[in-house]
Amino acid sequence: QVQLVESGGGLVQAGGSLRLSCAVSGSIFSINTMNWYRQAPGNYRELVAAITSGGSTNYASSVKGRFTISRDNAKNTVYLQMNSLKPEDTAVYYCNTHAIVRGPAMMYENEFWGQGTQVTVSS
């Protein structure tokens, strides 16, 4: 029904930058919040950044001032610009969205996840 395709992860030195993207497609009616989560080995999956359909944003305290989330509603795509990267930012980053989708006999709200993309920051 709904697919989230992520790209942009990779290897970077501390202090460097990466830009993640996530494109949403499928039988979607509307997209509400779009989010980025991350999960490092031994840690719980945590919310990194969120953006509403109107463009309001929220960030985890650990990334505030370094990361910027944005979205292109015409392309159903969310981005995460990551600057001044630190080794502790190393994790698998997951795109997530809350959306209303069309079913055979109803419309419903659900949560969807991307497959994850690895971000590794070296000292």
Q: Which three-class secondary structure string do you get for 13-63? A: ECCCCEEEEEEEEECEEEEEEEEEEEECCCCCCEEEEEECCCCCEEECCCC
- Compute the average pLDDT of residues 73-98: 96
Question: pLDDT, tens digit, for every residue of 47-69?
Answer: 999 999 999 999 999 999 999 99
Question: pLDDT, tens digit, for every residue of 3-41?
Answer: 999 999 999 999 999 999 999 998 888 899 999 999 999
